[in-house]
Structure 1
Amino acid sequence: MDVAAEPGVVWALVSDLPRMGRFSPENLGGRWLHGATGPAVGVELRGFNHNGAKRWSTTARIVACEPGRLLTFDVRSPLLVRVSRWSYVITPTRHGCVLTENWYRVGNRFVRRFLGPRVTGRQDRPGYNAESIKHTLAAVKAHAESIGDAGPESRTSPTNAP
């Protein structure tokens, strides 16, 4: 997704995982764990998700973190089984940046075929995630471009975003 905003603005949005619910159709946000206050390799986050009346939580662990460029995290189910890997890649361009979101399904067959659909209510996780990624990227783009036009003071902290 081409974004007409500085890479730092986009990074501030996608690295604020506790507030990702404002962009995602399924994620409700989360909270950093073990006293962490932001992303770094090894940091964990409790994430909260929904699909209609279904609600569930996961634990994510940051596995790659290059501020302004890359954020990758593994998601584990409540059974501590790794179920997916998510990654945001920010590539600078002349007019802002390109934001890419990747999702990889991992974990064992039991989680993918039985537990996941029962917990989330989604039988076609790959298909749903493809649509969810489009939604999330468009929402991040719209927000980044709107705060990018607000002046330098809006770029100092992701907490200035609604």
Structure 2
Amino acid sequence: MPLPRIPRHPEPSATGAVTIAASAEAAYGIISDPPVMTGLAEEAHGARWLGSAGAAAVGARFVGHNRRGRLRRWSTVCTVTDAEPGRRFAFEVTATPLRIPISRWEYTIEPAAGGGPGCRVTETSYLRAPVWFLPVAIAVTGVLNRPDANTTNIARTLDRLKARLESAPSPAAAAD
């Protein structure tokens, strides 16, 4: 079976979008908090800020713990590259301990189409791993077709984000 074509950075390898009946600030609050966001993600199952970082800021780093199935586990170190409240959160991922570039993840938040209530969140991943590292990544993760896997994972993550934000009480309702 031939390997699938794998788009390379700066071309996105996977993307998805969802319109959410919540403010851009509320969406950013979850998206930019990796320990919270991993509760919505498909492969990521834990994260913690490194050093003195405790919130999203350009240059802040966090470790991400990932899993696929019952047996496959791996950790990465991520560095925040974009932190614009209510607009954009992005980070680059490196494999530990050699600090090999793996991927870039971006979340953009825009007003809902037509000026309606809520916001539109787009999640995009970019593959940054060197070609020689791809067999190692496949062996560690068990994923032969990373673009397809990430497309599926992004859709599930965004659906969970939408459900969480839309089930949360609005600030106005909480004040009543």
TM over 0.5: yes
Q: Distance in 2 between matches of 1:2 and 1:63?
A: 24
Q: Distance in 1 between matches of 2:65 and 2:107?
A: 19
Q: Which has the higher helix share?
A: 1
Aligned to 2:19: 2
Contact 2:23 2:119 in 1 (8 A): yes
Aligned to 1:116: 137
Q: Distance in 1 between matches of 2:39 and 2:77?
A: 19
Deviations 1:5-47 (A, max 9, x none): 1111111111111222211111002000011101100000000
Secondary structure of the equivalent of 1:141?
A: helix
Greater C-alpha Rg = 2
Secondary structure of the equivalent of 1:22?
A: coil
- Aligned 1:99-114 pairs, distance under 5 A: 99-112=121-134, 114=135
Aligned to 1:18: 35
Using a 3 Å threshold, how does the CA distance of structure 1 residues 26 and 154 change in structure 2: closer, same or farther?
Answer: farther
Per mean C-alpha deviation after superposition, the further-off stretch among 16-25 and 29-38 is 16-25
- Aligned 1:63-74 pairs, distance under 5 A: 63-74=81-92
Aligned to 2:160: 139
Contact 2:32 2:83 in 1 (8 A): no
Secondary structure of the equivalent of 1:24?
A: coil
Q: Distance in 2 between matches of 1:118 and 1:54?
A: 9
- Structure 2 residues without counterparts, runs of 5 or longer: 1-17
Q: Distance in 1 between matches of 2:125 and 2:84?
A: 18
Aligned to 2:170: 151
Count of residue pairs brought into register by the alignment: 152
- Structure 1 residues without counterparts, runs of 5 or longer: 156-162
Q: Distance in 1 between matches of 2:170 and 2:23?
A: 12
Is 1:62 matched with 2:80? yes
Aligned to 2:103: 84
Q: Distance in 2 between matches of 1:60 and 1:72?
A: 10
Which residue identity does 2:127 align to in structure 1? Answer: R
Secondary structure of the equivalent of 2:143?
A: coil
Which residue identity does 1:41 align to in structure 2? Answer: V
**Over 3 Å off, 4+ runs:** none
Deviation at 1:133, TM superposition (A): 0.4
Report percent identity of matched pairs. 36
Which residue identity does 2:83 align to in structure 1? Answer: C
Which residue identity does 1:124 align to in structure 2? Answer: N
Deviation at 1:95, TM superposition (A): 1.1
Deviation at 1:121, TM superposition (A): 1.1
